[in-house]
Amino acid sequence: STLIRSRRQRQMCIRDSDYSLKNGYKDMACALTISATHQIPLPVVQSATATYQKALRSGYGDGAEVVFV
């Protein structure tokens, strides 16, 4: 189906890119800043950001080989 193909394409695009954990964290931090400005709670993004922070502190920041699903 089109939906499944789109998901696969996105997954392949992310896996094949140089999108590092640091970049993902930066994007989530921006989302949290915007959500705070507009008073929109994003509890899942807050939890994911905390997980990314732990991974960054453990040294997983520069490689694109780290994937959270």
pLDDT in tens, 9-67: 555 455 545 677 888 888 899 999 999 999 999 999 999 899 889 888 988 877 665 55
* Those residues with Cβ within 8 angstroms of residue 18's Cβ, 6 or more apart along the chain or in another chain: 64
pLDDT at res. 43: 95
Query: Residue 69 pLDDT more than 80?
Result: no
| 17 contact partners, CB below 8 Å, separation of at least 6 | 64
In angstroms, the Cα distances linking 67 to 14, 23, 31, 41, 51 are 9, 12, 19, 24, 12
Closest CA to 25 of 62, 43, 3: 62
Between 5 and 24, residue with greater pLDDT: 24
pTM surpassing 0.85?
Answer: no
